[in-house]
Amino acid sequence: MSASRASTRADVARHAGVSTAVVSYVVNDGPRRVAPATAARVRAAILALNYSPNVNARALRTGTTGLVGLVVPDIANPFFAELAQAVELALAEHGDLLVVADTRTDQATERRVVADLGRRQLDGLLLSTVLPPGELRRLGQPGQRTVLLNVSSPFDGYPALGPDAEGGAYAVVEHLVDVHGHRSVALVIGQSSEPVPAPRERGWGRVFQDRRLPPGPVLRTSFGRIGGYQAARQMLAWRERPTAIFTSSDEQASGVLRALREAGLSCPEDVAVVSFDGTPETEFTSPPLTVARQPVQAMAAAAVTTVLEPGPAPGYQQFATELVLRESCGCVGADARKPASPPA
């Protein structure tokens, strides 16, 4: 209502009878010391005038904005939503703000967005990319420090971090094979832009390699729920349907579960399902999902530290996933919980 013009440090200086430098020292708690009495007067003036520093002016002067960007393929995907939340929390502890950009898993959009943010003088950029590695390298160094998120191996030229996707996939598929006796596990995985098989695929494949078993079928589809749903429908139409499915994301698993249900099949009795991510909703699906859970909090904290910390960037930080056993693999009280289902 009031404030026809916000007060500036000059107003405060005048009001307190000091110089603007002193105001600055008080506001920033340095770099010079200020006499307690003077400081008190300045603080009183700040309160009286309801002064708050102009962030843009400071940014112009210091070259730092207190803003960190996060670029993700799909913020509505529970995994990225959880990641964004964790990153925001970690940033808040540093007094920094989170700028979110969503690329809709589209390469062109990502190019535009990254170029855009590169021009913005953010203090750092956290990037979960869908661009092929080669192109990313050609991106050159944008103004700010960039950390790659959600990658599963060292990435030349950038600090990077992510889950041990191969290990996580191995563990959860191995569980299906060794504990539940499945001889074959179908893989539902997102379209990869890389020439090498994605880590989740490698982990899955290695389980069978190690046991000299033929790997199960591979279905490449989109990462979302629909992708999982379609992949499962396809498989259920086969003459010989798989007894177990490993999906590369929780959302795909959600789609698979729906397809199973529509087909009148029960999980885990008819088809076991396990997935990768372990977002909170996996505890609430029907049945609850056995997953390789990503340590989201830890990765977010590390990402923020890496992007904000001065000094030489660490190369690659890998995070172990956690195998969470629930009902969908056949482990926990699967029958006690389904008194309504027939003996089959």
Partner DNA sequence: TTGAAAGCGCTAACAA
Partner DNA sequence: TTGTTAGCGCTTTCAA
Rg for the chain (alpha carbons), in Å?
Answer: 26
10 binds, among its own copies, DNA, none (CB under 5 to 8 A by kind): DNA
x/- track of binding to its own copies for residues 110-139 (CB under 8 A): ---x--xx-xxx------------------
At 6, is the secondary structure helix, strand, or coil? coil
Which one, 237 or 340, has the nearer CB to its own copies? Answer: 340
Give the span between the Cα atoms of 101 and 68, in whole angstroms. Answer: 11
x/- track of binding to DNA for residues 78-97 (CB under 7 A): --------------------
Least distance in angstroms from the C-beta of 8 to DNA = 4
Query: Does 19 participate in binding DNA (rule CB under 7 A)?
Result: yes
Q: What Å distances lie between residue 246 and 23, 29, 251, 271, 275, CA to CA? A: 61, 55, 12, 11, 5
Query: Does 101 participate in binding its own copies (rule CB under 8 A)?
Result: yes
Least distance in angstroms from the C-beta of 122 to DNA = 15
- The conformation of residue 102, written as its DSSP 8-state character, comes to E
Query: Does 310 participate in binding its own copies (rule CB under 8 A)?
Result: no
Query: Does 252 participate in binding its own copies (rule CB under 8 A)?
Result: no
Residue type at position 264: G
Listed in order, strand segments (DSSP E) in 139-243 are 145-148, 160-163, 186-190, 218-221
x/- track of binding to DNA for residues 258-297 (CB under 7 A): ----------------------------------------
Q: Phi and psi at residue 100, in whole multiples of 5°?
A: -105, 135
Q: Phi and psi at residue 137, in whole multiples of 5°?
A: -65, -40
Query: Does 341 participate in binding its own copies (rule CB under 8 A)?
Result: yes
Which one, 57 or 108, has the nearer CB to DNA? Answer: 57
Q: Which stretch binds DNA (CB under 7 A): 11-19, 130-138, 208-216, 314-322?
A: 11-19
284 binds, among its own copies, DNA, none (CB under 5 to 8 A by kind): its own copies
Binding DNA by CB under 7 A: which of 14, 20, 193, 213?
20
Give the span between the Cα atoms of 81 and 54, in whole angstroms. Answer: 31
Least distance in angstroms from the C-beta of 47 to DNA = 15
Query: Does 28 participate in binding its own copies (rule CB under 8 A)?
Result: no
Which one, 194 or 283, has the nearer CB to its own copies? Answer: 283
Contact 172, 290 (CB under 8 A): yes
At 7, is the secondary structure helix, strand, or coil? coil
Residue tagged 């859970």 (tokens): 293
Give the span between the Cα atoms of 227 and 127, in whole angstroms. Answer: 24
For every residue of 135-158, which 3-state class applies, written as one string?
A: HHHHCCCCCCEEEECCCCCCCCCC
Which one, 87 or 323, has the nearer CB to its own copies? Answer: 87
CA-wise closest residue to 99 among 81, 122, 79: 122
Give the binding site for DNA (CB under 7 A): 5-6, 8-10, 17-25, 27-28, 30-35, 37-39, 53-54, 57-58, 60-62
